[in-house]
Amino acid sequence: MTIIKSIEEITIFESPDGGKTVYSRKSGSLDRNLIKEDPNKKFLSKWHEWREILTLAETEPSLADAINQAEIIYALIKKEEN
- pTM for this entry: 0.55
Neighbours of 36 (CB within 10 A): 13
pLDDT of residue 46: 93
Q: 3-49, pLDDT tens digit by residue? A: 766 667 899 999 999 999 999 999 889 999 999 988 898 899 999 99
Buried b (16+ CB within 10 A) or exposed e, 6-29: eeeeeeeeeeeeeeebbbeeeeee
pLDDT of residue 6: 65
pLDDT of residue 25: 94
62: pLDDT strictly greater than 70: yes
